[in-house]
């Protein structure tokens, strides 16, 4: 119960922070798309996508490694933390150099902006402090620094609009907010642990041993996910980049939410893996089922009103993005499970398969985008993204089952899929002339009733929730 309380508090703290982080980023996307048009928005998206690729290179999957290791060395973490930061500094310098060279050769018309962003990569890649805040019982620090980022970004964004809305000003707003985040996060981390910068070869070897396959794989996976943006810009236009990016922004948000839910699990899974694999498997089964109960109907609803969502957020200029969104919705759902199962395999140290898996995804993505973009443009990229995510999640699930056993309780999953199929049919039937939003409300009420009636959620989960501090109001109401 202590672990579960710890997990929920961290999810809430990190979630509150991410509301500000993702909220400010999403507001920036929506406003720029509405005010500046699809082509301008395409350039803005291209630049942030470029930064995203090299931010991942700069991180090199060291953050999940920190989440696993820091929980196991928390009694004397100073030396580990110092060596971890030294590794990050060296990798960041390498990422900066590669980023500058790449920017010069692939997009000289935007080189000055890309150069400044490349030099700022250590700040853009500074989202690695949360495991420190979590393990040392200061979870709300995650919220504080993310709130600072969100507020700073909105202030700088407003200033950019006031000063004629130049592309460079919007990028500077993004960079400045990340600098504020990095400086404050490092300051707060020193209240938990101060780094000891004394080189220890054994610590460095152990970090790199786990990070190397994950880092290489994450880079290759990022290529498989984002190469389409670069290829759309080169083979089509900035307009095509804007349409695809408008839909993909929702996927990024869902990915961040998935990371928010799964990242705090890595230290917990690592601790459980040392004690009892069966207990780890049961926890994974429960989480996977509860996750499906919530995100599958959400995906069906978003699919049913995708045009309305795109029109509301971006306006009519980017309405074609609704078609892309209809495909990428299912990518976002698969990402939840991909990250969840990845947390498990990381916690048990099974990572070597990531080398060939990431390479396979990158090759498949590049080849399919090259073949499909000339004829199908952004729709070809959307279908490619779905196929690659299925491959990534499928292989990761295979390795998880291989090492901890089958965590799928098929009787429960048949109920979940059956209820969601009924939900989909009801929302798309033409017999009843009812407003779509009324249909959604009615269908969710019926869905919730049968979830409880068919005992899809195990009763012990409700009992566990009622004992978690943050849900203590459940017991209060019973009295």
> Rg of the chain's alpha carbons, rounded to an integer?
22
What are the sequence ranges of the domains in the chain?
2-408
Give the span between the Cα atoms of 181 and 179, in whole angstroms: 5
Residue 470 has pLDDT above 50, yes or no: no
Residue 157 has pLDDT above 90, yes or no: yes
Task: Express each pLDDT in 334-381 by its tens digit.
Answer: 998 988 888 888 778 777 787 788 888 889 999 999 999 999 999 999
Are 427 and 436 a contacting pair, CB within 8 Å?
Answer: yes
In the chain the first and final C-alpha atoms are separated, in Å, by 22
The average confidence (pLDDT) of the chain is: 85
Q: In 3-state terms, what secondary structure has residue 129? A: coil
Alpha carbon 174 to its chain's center: 18
Please give the model's pTM, rounded to 2 decimal places.
0.76
Give the span between the Cα atoms of 203 and 108, in whole angstroms: 41
The reported pLDDT for the residue numbered 10 is 67
Higher local confidence (pLDDT), 456 or 475 = 456
User: In b/e form, how buried is each residue of 451-463, taking b as 16+ CB within 10 angstroms?
Assistant: beeeebbeeeeee
């Amino acid at each position: 119960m202590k672990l579960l309380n710890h997990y929920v508090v961290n999810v809430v703290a990190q979630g509150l922070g991410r509301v500000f982080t993702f909220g400010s980023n999403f507001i920036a996307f929506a406003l720029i798309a509405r005010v500046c048009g699809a082509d301008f928005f395409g350039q803005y998206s291209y630049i942030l996508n470029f930064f995203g690729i090299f931010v991942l290179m700069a991180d090199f999957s060291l953050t999940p490694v920190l989440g696993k290791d820091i929980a196991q060395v928390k009694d004397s973490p100073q030396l580990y933390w110092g060596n971890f930061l030294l590794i990050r500094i060296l990798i960041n310098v390498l990422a900066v150099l590669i980023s500058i060279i790449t920017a010069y050769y692939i997009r000289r018309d935007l080189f000055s902006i890309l150069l400044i962003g490349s030099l700022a990569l250590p700040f853009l890649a500074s989202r690695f402090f949360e495991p420190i805040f979590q393990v040392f019982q200061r979870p709300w620090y995650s919220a504080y620094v993310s709130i600072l980022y969100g507020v700073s970004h909105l202030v700088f964004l407003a200033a950019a609009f006031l000063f004629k809305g130049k592309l460079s000003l919007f990028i500077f707003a993004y960079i400045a907010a990340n600098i504020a985040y990095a400086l404050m996060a490092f300051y707060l981390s020193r209240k938990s642990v101060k780094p000891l910068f004394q080189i220890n070869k054994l610590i460095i070897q152990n970090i790199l041993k786990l990070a190397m396959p994950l880092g290489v794989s994450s880079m290759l996976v990022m290529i498989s996910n984002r190469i389409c943006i670069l290829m759309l810009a080169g083979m089509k236009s900035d307009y095509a980049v804007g349409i695809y990016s408008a839909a993909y922004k929702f996927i990024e948000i869902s990915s961040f939410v998935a990371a928010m839910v799964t990242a705090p699990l890595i230290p917990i899974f690592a601790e459980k893996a040392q004690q009892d694999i069966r207990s780890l498997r049961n926890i994974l089964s429960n989480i996977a089922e509860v996750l499906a109960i919530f995100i599958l109907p959400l995906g069906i609803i978003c699919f049913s009103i995708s045009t309305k969502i795109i029109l509301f957020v971006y306006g009519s200029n980017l309405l074609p993005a609704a078609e892309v969104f209809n495909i990428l919705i299912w990518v976002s759902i698969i990402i939840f499970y991909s990250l969840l199962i990845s947390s498990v395999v990381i916690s048990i140290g099974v990572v070597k398969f990531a080398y060939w898996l990431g390479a396979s995804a990158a090759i498949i993505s590049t080849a399919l985008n090259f073949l499909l973009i000339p004829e199908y443009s952004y729709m070809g990229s959307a279908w490619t993204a779905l196929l690659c995510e299925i491959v990534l999640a499928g292989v990761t699930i295979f390795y998880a089952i291989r090492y901890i056993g089958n965590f799928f309780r098929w009787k429960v999953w048949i109920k979940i899929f059956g209820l969601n199929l009924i939900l989909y049919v009801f929302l798309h039937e033409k017999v009843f002339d009812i407003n779509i939003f009324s249909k959604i409300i009615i269908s969710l009420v019926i869905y919730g009733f049968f979830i409880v009636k068919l005992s899809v959620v195990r009763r012990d989960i409700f009992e566990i929730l009622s004992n978690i501090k943050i849900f203590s109001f459940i017991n209060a109401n019973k009295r």
